[in-house]
Amino acid sequence: MTVRNWNAVARTISARARELELSQLALAERSQVASATIRELQYNTVQRRRNTRTLEALSVALELHPGHLFAILTGRTPPSREPPPLPPLDPLARLHIVEQHVLVLRQRLDEIHTALNPDHPNR
């Protein structure tokens, strides 16, 4: 049986909500989780089995990785947040990448053609 650390979940929710300056009501609106449920979790007043989607919704609303609160609950290290998206490439760099892919595809097609037609004069 997995040990559940609801106290750690409560501390994480409270600390992160404070960092983001989110009230319970604002957190409820962001997460679409009932204020009563958030209150139970935040103050650890009721320990019961929760749907993982509840913890995911709260994690996302707290701007954490979706699996953050579940990892805390189960005593694991929370996954890091998603890395920021890379800046878009300039058009010439994108064209170069496409050209490289086309060359690889052409080589593969030539290999397939040669394998299927061993007597072809272009071999």
Residue 122 has pLDDT above 70, yes or no: no
Supply the DSSP string of 78-114, one letter for each residue: PPPPPPPPPPPPPHHHHHHHHHHHHHHHHHHHHHHHH
Cβ neighbours of 30 (radius 10 Å): 16
Q: Which of 2-11, 54-63, 84-93, 97-106 has the lowest mean pLDDT?
A: 84-93
Lowest average pLDDT, out of 22-31, 35-44, 83-92, 100-109, goes to 83-92
Report the share of the chain in percent with pLDDT over 70: 90
d(CA 111, CA 104): 11
Q: What is the pLDDT of residue 118?
A: 81
Please give the mean pLDDT across all residues of the chain.
88
Assigned architecture for domain 6-73: Orthogonal Bundle (1.10)
Query: Among all chains, which residue has been given the structure tokens 């030539």?
Result: 110
Q: What is the pLDDT of residues 17-74, one digit of tens each?
A: 999 999 999 999 999 999 999 999 999 998 888 888 999 999 999 999 999 999 999 9
